[in-house]
Amino acid sequence: MCCLPGAAGQSASTAVPVQITIEGILRVLHQFGKEAIPQEMVIKEVEMHGLALRPTSADLAKLSTAGASPRLLDAVRHARFPEPAAVARREGRLLVACEPVDCEVRVNGKPSGSTHGGGLAPITLPPGTVSVAAMREDYTAVRPEQAAVIKADADTRIAFRFEPSRAALERTGAALFERMLAALGGEDRFRAAVSLHGRGALRIHNGGAFPTLWKMELWRSGEQTKYKLERSGKKYEVIRNAAGYKWKKKPRGQDVSAIEEALRLLDAGQLNRSLGRAVLSGAKALASKLRYADDEEVALRVSSEAGPLGLRLDSAYRPKEIQQEPVGLNAALRFLYAGYEGEGAQCRPLRLQVIEPGTEERGIEANFDQLEEDRSGNRKRKRRFGLFR
């Protein structure tokens, strides 16, 4: 017997594993019976190659009935068995994207890399559900953790959208607000009482078809301002302070109400009022974003005991627009500033527009071309600045 039945044609030279079966051993036993030599050869084959399948108690009973010796039965019981065929592992791919910034990704709590250009290299995973988390310093994901179902031979895509964290926006806002204060000469600018003398023009929009244009001169000292207004032969002088208005000669008709309302808006538009009250009452600024391009307009939201404000700054970090927000029964005014001259504490806008809420047809425009300032109280120094500070 050169080989067992069932193992024929499976020599080592073919690199095909020899498969010895219970059926093959039974055929040998049926052919040779209890002859010792054939059984010894079977024992060697079993010890060398093992069995194709694990024998059952029924198989052992058949072998014993067919005349298998105790040694053969023992060899069959302790025979090696082939390793189970490896099952091809089917996997899926997880694709993670982050916008508008790159992020760090974790799968089931374990770091899985960071995105570049918004995307992460595909992650190969076995089928099943995994937890995917994404994070980025100074940002918060709208959904910081998501469940992803991985399917075999398929791609699973997950996207994370990030927004700046409030803490980061507060830090950025505080830095930009300080930069604005530095451009205006610092916080002390809003504490100093300065006497001013200005000349210019005041345009009043009262909702009519045509605005009225007045030639204007003013003298301001502390909280009191004296105005001279002239238009089409009309000349008026009025003092405005906390107590109200005091006219040298009160005009008749609609001029009085239109002028008093215009001067109220003019006074409200002074930077030491529109902005200074917030600065001196614990202002805290919140930026609209974390980074601005060099030519991009900076937008801030300011909260303070004086009420909330919206700020837009020009390229030199000076106020370009201040938007009040309604508080109680008080309406919100919008202030536009332009034509800054001077540096630091001497920096003032020459042009101001105050717009009443609800329409751009009601409000004022002021343009100044001259200002006399006396800070020392002893002599006046001529400078060309705007009125509002």
Residues 175, 256: one domain? yes
Domain for residue 22, yes or no?
Answer: yes
Q: Are residues 193 and 47 in the same domain?
A: no
Same domain, 367 and 276: yes
Give a yes or no: residue 236 inside a domain.
Answer: yes
Looking at this protein, which amino acid is placed at residue 232?
Answer: S
pLDDT at position 248:
92
How would you classify the pairing of strands 334-341 and 348-355? antiparallel
Residues 212 and 296 in one domain: yes
Residues 318 and 173 in one domain: yes
Whole-number pLDDT of residue 375? 52
Q: Is the domain of 231 the same as that of 314?
A: yes
How far apart (Å, rounded) are the C-alpha atoms in residues 281 and 126? 59
From 120, 147, 163, give the residue that closes a domain.
163
What is residue 89's predicted lDDT score, i.e. its pLDDT?
A: 80
- Residue 10 is predicted with a pLDDT of 44
- Shared domain for 240 and 290, answered yes or no, is yes
- Residues 339-373 as b/e (b if ≥16 CB within 10 A, e otherwise) read ebebeebbbbbbbbbbbbeeeeebbbbbbbebbbb
pLDDT of residue 17: 58
Q: In the listed set 77, 104, 123, which residue is the last one of a domain according to the structure? A: 77
CATH number (domain holding residue 126): 2.60.40.1120
Task: Output the pLDDT for position 7.
Answer: 54
The token duo for 375 is 């800070």
Strand 284-287 to strand 145-150: parallel, antiparallel, or no bridges (unpaired)?
Answer: unpaired
How high is the mean pLDDT in each 10-residue block of the chain (389 residues)?
Answer: 48 54 88 83 88 88 88 88 76 97 97 96 96 98 97 96 97 97 92 85 85 93 91 93 90 84 93 92 95 91 93 95 78 91 87 85 90 52 40
Instruction: Give the domain-ending residue among 163, 179, 207.
Output: 163
Determine the pLDDT at residue 328. 62
- Do residues 235 and 338 share a domain? yes
Does residue 182 share a domain with residue 284? yes
* Shared-domain flag, residues 114 and 147: yes
For residue 1, being part of any structural domain is answered with no
Domain that holds residue 120: 92-163
In a domain, 84, yes or no: no
Contact assessment for residue 367 and residue 350, using Cβ atoms and an 8 Å cutoff: yes
What pLDDT sits at residue 339?
93
- Residue 25 counted as domain residue: yes
The structural domain count of the chain equals: 3
* 210 and 159 inside one domain: no
- Please tell me whether residues 139 and 228 are part of one structural domain: no
Residue pair 388/194 in contact (Cβ under 8 Å)? The answer is no
CATH code, 229: 2.50.20.10
pLDDT, residue 9, reads 43
Question: For residue 86, is it within any domain?
Answer: no
pTM, two decimal places: 0.70
Q: Is residue 275 part of a domain?
A: yes
Q: Which of 313, 319, 311 is nearest to 296 (CA)?
A: 313
**82, part of any domain:** no
